[in-house]
Structure 1
Amino acid sequence: MADMGALEKLLILAFREPDYSDSPCGTFESFLNPNEITLSYEMEYDSAQGAGTTNSRMNFKKAKPGDMSLTFFIDGTGANGKKIDVQQKIEEFQTVTGYDGTIHRPHYLKVVWGKLQVKRCVLKSASIAYKMFQPSGIPLRAIITATFTDNSDDRTRQAIARDESPDLTHVRVVRVADNLPSMCNEIYGDPGYYLQVAVVNGLDNFRKLVPGTKVFFPPLEK
């Protein structure tokens, strides 16, 4: 049985694959858990309005990726019962969250802590403030303030958004007994678009779809 009183540290896991299908290539464990986590979200609207009007209709455009801000306190004085190398801990954070020459970009990250929902993200910004030094200049205390922004692969993002509008692009995996007219009816509300979809996908026989293959449904022009 797990110890209910055990301190669970916040972890940042680094991945090289955008769908997080690989094993973590790096891990950063917080020395002291942050005492505050800030989550922020932003919706984008088109607020254009006609001349002579006093208000505007806020037409929804998109939900921007959300941000999460964390502050990590690193204490190398030993006051908390464990003496650590502050600079080494900072370099560990930079390695896990920073640029990877193998993939030519920063790592894809997961932030994990207790019952907090696992957040798939990338590092947006970070600042380091050194608070105390030894006479020799070695840092004894530091604060890392980091902001992470949401990151999801296309399949995950579409599953979360559940976009079903016919003016958006769709990709469907063919199931047993699926046929193109019924799939068009599900997406466009009209089975008559099956010929256009067949041409886009290069399908010679739209009546015999192979289960497990992907079919691309382009957006409808309004």
Structure 2
Amino acid sequence: MLDLSHKTEKLYVQAYSDSEYKKPVPDNKFSALINPASYSVSYRFEFDSTQAPGTSGVNMKFNRIMPGDFNFDFLFDATGVIKDMSVLSLGIANPFEKPGTVTEQIEIFKQKIIDYQSDKHRPYYLKIHWGELLFKGVLKQMDIEYKVFTPDGKPIRAIAKCQFAESIADVERAAEENRESADITHERIFGGSDRLDRMTEKIYEKDIHYINVAGFNSLDSFRNIKSGSKIYFPPLAK
């Protein structure tokens, strides 16, 4: 027996004016007419594949993680077939009701999701919510396919194929990464039991750079370092 007591949770998109997603745009929340049957998330990794002359292979050196892509389709429908999706998946069309067009629905979608912010000189930042899904990003591409038409050629059903690109604020990204990369400068407080060569090995994965670190910090000796001293480990030269 079909249980109608539970209301369907619809996928929705909320627009934000800031990259930290703290300033939602009033009334710029768009709910899907029908939840997508599927969606896809893709991740891309960039490596340096430069190969030395005369070699038979290459050690792929990691460069960066590219922003993730999120893809799904929005349905726009004015045929009269699709009714309240919180009750039934499909309703019964009223044969006496004149079908409308999807033009207004798409315009509302564009206003709420992709319209240009004149004061920010950019489109909105977006959060996509549905169940356990929470995606933060921007609309990267949208292709609209018109599917059903009235006898006079007005569209009454369309599908918007949307591709969103992940966008994370710099502060949040740095906190999430908590990087220990040798490509950035690190600051450490020298403790009484610390050794410069061991600290260097932990950051660079080699201890041979400790002399350079000592020189960078203008240390007279890498052995007699005062406890509590700030030691800076610069990025390795490319």
- TM-score class, shorter: 0.7 to 0.9
- Per the alignment, residue 108 of structure 2 pairs with 92
CA distance in structure 1 between the aligned counterparts of 2:76 and 2:235, rounded to whole angstroms = 54
The answer to whether 1:220 aligns with 2:235 is yes
Query: Does 2:199 correspond to 1:182?
Result: no
Letter in 2 for 1:123: L
User: For residues 219 and 123 of structure 1, what CA distance do their matches in structure 2 show?
Assistant: 37
For 1:4 and 1:218, locate their aligned partners in 2 and report how far apart those are by CA, in whole Å: 61
Rounded Cα–Cα distance in structure 2 between residues aligned with 1:164 and 1:4: 51
The residue number in structure 1 matching 2:141 is: 125
CA gap 1:219/1:104 in 2 versus in 1, 3 angstroms: farther
Three-state SS of the structure 1 residue aligned to 2:44 is strand
Q: Give the letter aligned to residue 189 of structure 2.
A: S
Contact 1:71 1:146 in 2 (8 A): yes
8 Å CA contact 1:181, 1:193 repeated in 2: no
Alignment partner of 2:105: what SS? helix
* CA deviation string 1:19-60 (max 9, x = no partner): 111133411110011111011010000011122222211100
Report the aligned-residue RMSD: 3.2
Equivalent position of 1:77 in the other structure: 79
Is 1:140 the counterpart of 2:156? The answer is: yes
Is the CA contact 1:122–1:149 (under 8 Å) kept in the aligned structure 2?
A: yes
Q: Provide the TM-score with structure 1 as the length reference.
A: 0.74
| Identity %, equivalent residues | 32
1:193 deviation in Å?
9.3
Q: In structure 1, what residue type is equivalent to 2:49?
A: S
In structure 2, relative to structure 1, the CA distance for the partners of 1:153 and 1:218 (3 Å cut) is farther
- Aligned twin of 1:113: 130
Pick closer, same or farther for the CA change 1:169–1:103 going to 2, 3 Å: farther
Give, in whole Å, the separation in 1 of the partners of 2:10 and 2:215: 53
Comparing 118-127 and 92-101, the one that deviates more:
92-101
2: CA distance, partners of 1:157 / 1:63: 12
For these two proteins, the number of residue pairs brought into alignment is 191
1:56-86 deviation line (CA, Å, top 9, x unaligned): 1110000000001011122211112258752
Partner Cα distance (1:27, 1:131) in 2 = 25
Report what 2:121 is aligned to: 104
Residues 56 and 194 from structure 1, CA distance in 2 versus in 1: closer, same or farther, beyond 3 angstroms?
closer
Among candidates 11, 31, 34, match of residue 33 of structure 2: 31
Q: 2-side partners of 1:193 and 1:154: how far apart?
A: 32
Give the equivalent residue in structure 2 for 1:154.
170
Aligned to 1:10: 11
Match of 1:50, as an amino acid?
A
> Which structure is larger by alpha-carbon Rg, 1 or 2?
2
